[in-house]
Amino acid sequence: MSQITAFGTYVPEKIINNHYFENLIDTNDEWILSRTGIRTRRFAKDGEYTSDLSYKAVQDLVSKSGKEVKDVDFIIICTTSPDQPMPNSASRLQYKLGVENAGCNDIYAACAGFVYGLQMAHGFVNSGIYQKVLVVGAETLSKIIDMDDRTSCILFGDGAGAALIEPGEDEHFLAFNSGTNGDLGHDLYLSHKKNSINGVGINPNGRIIQNGRSVFKWAVGNIPNKIRDLVEKAGLTLDDIDHIVPHSANLRIIEAIAKSLDYPMEKVPESVTEFGNTSSASIPLAIAKSMQTGGIKKGDTVLMIGFGGGLTFAGTIVKWNI
Ligand code: UT7
């Protein structure tokens, strides 16, 4: 049986407000705030990469929990913005942490990445393959934003969140689900190669390209039912869920999901207003903010659901133990 036994986060120091973009593209603070809810985001420094943010998030995990991480036996970094395609960012983290012997792998599942990472860690630990797994959702999206595209560059930010998964006496993961609409793959992508997705020619500029309206519609139209499905799988009702933590893509998406479920927004932690859309890091950052402000606490039942590029989603329900 597996549990999340420690947790930490990190965001870079540099705060970017909405006015920053007014000199670069045709936009303004009012549009960004009203369409997305975003007030600020963080950008990593030059030379600061995803494995660096991951390292700081793990340091935070260690200082908060007192846990030893030198003996972790598997490291997963969930990211859309790895340091480079090879070596993977998890291997960079293994080196920086001085972990002696750990398998290392990056998961590329965009904004659903962190929850996919938790699902895999649960499988590893419960099958006995590994005993101590680090799952880090980390992004330096500022390095892959298309600054000429006003519909997307204002959305994204950098950050990291880390969780340690270990065997325990009780099972703390209560349910899982996931699914994919590969038919919509061309609506959110990043490519360095001249190519096509679903027969649709794509722009290989190595930057994030998104059809915002399509992704918005897909998220609002599908995620509420996936949340209901997850709750049912756990044998619970929505009243039993203390917090729903959806991927923080856009405050309007989060509000629409809550409204569709008739679930109170006060119980829906978010990180998008302060940190922008941080993809794989958005769920852990929302959890950390909620814990700091007296929201999520030990013993709570927490539902997390990530969704994005793929288009793919992944959800889980966890008994929070920290
Ligand atoms: O994390 C991965 C998953 N991603 C998401 O879930 C993102 C989902 N999508 C969104 O969050 C929203 O679709 C956006 C925030 C990207 C866009 O908001 P929207 O309400 O869907 O705007 P829109 O694309 O329908 O554009 C409305 C108008 C357009 O002008 P016209 O055609 O009505 O004249 C855009 O050109 O707003 C214009 N616009 C802007 N205006 C000022 C688009 N971007 C900007 C901008 N500043 N930055």
Q: What is the pLDDT of residues 30-75, one digit of tens each?
A: 999 999 999 999 999 999 999 999 999 999 999 999 999 999 999 9
**pLDDT tens for residues 138-158?**
999 999 999 999 999 999 999
CATH pick for 2-167 out of 3.20.20.80, 3.40.47.10, 3.40.50.620, 3.20.20.10: 3.40.47.10
| DSSP class of 45 | P
CA pair distance 199, 182, nearest whole angstrom: 12
CA pair distance 282, 155, nearest whole angstrom: 12
Average pLDDT for 222-233: 98
Task: List strand residue ranges (DSSP E) for the chain, in order.
Answer: 2-10, 14-17, 40-43, 74-78, 103-107, 133-140, 158-167, 173-180, 188-189, 196-197, 200-201, 209-210, 243-246, 301-308, 312-319
Taking CA atoms only, the protein residue closest to ligand 1 atom 12 is 212
Average pLDDT for 266-290: 98
- Residue 149's pLDDT is 96
With residue 216 as reference, give the H or E element that holds it.
helix 212-233
Task: From the candidates 111, 177, 186, 243, give the one annotated as an active-site residue.
Answer: 111
Rounded mean pLDDT of the chain? 97
Same topology, domains 2-167 and 173-319? Answer is: yes
Instruction: Give yes or no for a contact between 133 and 164, defined as CB atoms under 8 angstroms apart.
Output: yes
Q: Is 111 a catalytic residue?
A: yes
Instruction: Give yes or no for a contact between 272 and 251, defined as CB atoms under 8 angstroms apart.
Output: yes
- Residue 81's pLDDT is 98
CA pair distance 32, 70, nearest whole angstrom: 43
So where are the chain's domains? Answer: 2-167, 173-319
Instruction: Give yes or no for a contact between 73 and 132, defined as CB atoms under 8 angstroms apart.
Output: yes
- Residue 245's pLDDT is 99
The best mutation among 216, 217, 255 to test binding of ligand 1, ranked by most ligand atoms within 8 Å of the C-beta, falls on 216
Cis preceding-peptide flag for 53 (omega within 30 of 0): no
- Residue 194's pLDDT is 86
- Residue 119 Cβ < 6 Å to ligand 1: no
- Residue 24's pLDDT is 96
Per CATH, domain 173-319 is 1.10.540.10: no
| 239 pLDDT higher than 90 | yes
Band (163; pLDDT cuts 50, 70, 90) = very high
